[in-house]
């Protein structure tokens, strides 16, 4: 059987655990995300995301089928949408609003039968001025609501937040906090942490359940209720609104 490939042609598309609109949303695709279709039903497609190998079900009306050559072009495309509150693609049918981190070619392009032009300047991800960019990019998401499986400023989870920020810097990390904790180089002491390191937190069973981005060695920005900045010490994250520690520090990893 010939392999089927697809590209997300909407701003944000839910990826679900089961082929049902009522099923848990485990992650989201952003415009330009490409994938391999593993299985299909009348309404649903079971996919594997090329960027992080994540799998799940998406609505078949929410992507465009492409051939292998087109798939490889999208898979190797490095330019992404930047931090603009207002950015869109223009088509003959109207505008398509976008969010940061969407994958787009530099020039006007065609996807399926639709032609697109972009309204802003694209970003070519780079780790140059890493700490400054971490502060700028992460601050853009401040007060974005927490949403399980989310990857956009309109709703984002802890590991979706770190993944998108790092994508804007050209650093590829996996989707879940437990997977991200297996990447990078270990920072042995909190005092040695620096801006851009990822801090991971575990539950009582020792399972990694949370991640955030270090801002120096005493503050962290993370998605918990909303994207927020909190203090961090050797015990973990301290929430001054609740006057207690909310997350237990397990390990710190460095990626740049």
CATH of 127-254, one of 1.10.10.10, 3.40.190.10, 3.90.1720.10, 4.10.490.10: 3.90.1720.10
25 near 50, Cβ under 8 Å? Answer: no
Q: What is the pLDDT of residues 165-191, one digit of tens each?
A: 999 999 999 999 999 999 999 999 999
Tokens of 78: 């490095």
pLDDT of residue 1: 72
pLDDT of residue 2: 86
Return the CATH superfamily for domain 4-118.
SH3 Domains (2.30.30.40)
Reference 81, options 140, 130, 131; nearest CA is 140
pTM check: above 0.95: yes
Pairing of strands 114-118, 219-224: unpaired
* Average pLDDT of span 195-222: 98
Q: What is the pLDDT of residues 74-122, one digit of tens each?
A: 999 999 999 998 899 999 989 999 999 999 998 899 999 999 999 898 9
Q: For the chain, what are the domain ranges? A: 4-118, 127-254
Portion of the chain with pLDDT greater than 70, in percent: 100
Half-sphere exposure of 50 (CA within 13 A, CB side): 21
Q: Which residues pair with 111 in a beta bridge?
A: 114
Q: Across the chain, what does the average pLDDT equal?
A: 97
- Examine domains 4-118 and 127-254 and report if their fold is the same: no
Taking CB atoms within 8 Å and a gap of at least 24, the contacts of 183-189 are 183/253, 183/255, 184/253, 184/254, 184/255, 185/253, 185/254, 185/255, 186/251, 186/252, 186/253, 186/254, 187/252, 187/253, 187/254
Given a cut of 80, is residue 193 above it in pLDDT?
yes
- 140: CB partners within 8 A, 6+ apart: 83, 100, 153
User: Residue 241 — very low, low, confident or very high, per pLDDT cuts 50/70/90?
Assistant: very high
């Amino acid at each position: 059987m010939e392999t089927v490939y697809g590209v997300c042609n909407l701003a944000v598309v839910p990826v679900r655990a089961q082929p049902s609109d009522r099923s848990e949303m485990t992650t989201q695709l952003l415009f330009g995300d490409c994938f391999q279709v593993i299985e299909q039903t009348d309404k649903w497609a079971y996919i594997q995301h090329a960027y992080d190998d994540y799998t799940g079900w998406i609505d078949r009306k929410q992507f465009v089928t492409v051939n292998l050559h087109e798939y490889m072009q999208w898979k190797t495309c490095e330019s992404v949408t930047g931090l603009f509150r207002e950015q869109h693609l223009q088509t003959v049918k109207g505008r398509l609003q976008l969010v940061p981190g969407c994958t787009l070619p530099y020039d006007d392009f065609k996807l399926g039968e639709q032609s697109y032009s972009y309204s802003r300047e694209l970003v070519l991800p780079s780790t140059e001025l890493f700490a400054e960019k971490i502060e700028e990019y992460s601050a853009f998401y401040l007060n974005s609501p927490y949403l399980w499986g989310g990857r956009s400023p309109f709703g984002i989870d802890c590991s979706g937040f770190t993944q998108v920020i790092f994508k804007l810097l050209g650093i590829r990390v996996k989707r879940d906090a437990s997977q991200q904790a297996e990447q990078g180089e270990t920072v042995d002491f909190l005092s040695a942490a620096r801006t851009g390191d990822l801090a991971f937190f575990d539950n009582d069973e020792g399972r990694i359940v949370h991640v955030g981005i270090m801002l120096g060695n005493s503050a962290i920005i993370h998605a918990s209720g909303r994207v927020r900045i909190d203090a961090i010490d050797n015990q973990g994250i301290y929430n001054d609104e609740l006057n207690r520690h909310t997350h237990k520090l397990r390990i710190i990893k460095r990626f740049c």
